[in-house]
Structure 1
Amino acid sequence: MAKTVSQKPKSKPLSEQVRKAMKKYFATLGDTNPANVYEMVMAEVEPELLRSVMKYTNNNQSKAATALGLNRATLRKKLHRYNILEKS
């Protein structure tokens, strides 16, 4: 009879890193009340995500938009917002 190996659910390293970073961020605040945390995190994460996907797709915006689950116009707007899109 074959042994069944129980598999642990795969870890989520990105979510774990976010959890750790946010825990550290909140710990450094002391008595200060945080504001605009969502915007702060997105401003840090989104440009790096876009750069990584653009590099992965060799700057092919159609492929990048598909990979990200965005339409191409939304991707272009975000690329411009973060000055990632080369000016023609």
Structure 2
Amino acid sequence: MDRDLGKEIEDMCNFSDLIEERAIEQGIERGIEQGRRLELDYGIKTVIEAYKELGSSYDKAKSFIVEKYQLSTSEAEAKMQEYWEN
């Protein structure tokens, strides 16, 4: 009977370790994805600010980020509104 209890406890501990490992992996994946999104947004912001500082038009900057970052027109417009004036 003690062996059975010991085996059950060992199985529970192993299961707990597996859950922990999966949670860590998911956390790392989410962190990497968040970092990618932040880096992409920073790149878009930098391009928009550069176009503005160089005296380029709003529409040229918008067209560039649509092409370069493969954004939809509405996504690009949202980024332009966010960063062109700021």
TM score, norm. by length of structure 2: 0.40
Asked which structure has the greater CA Rg, the reply is 2
Relative to total residues, which structure has the larger helix share, 1 or 2? 2
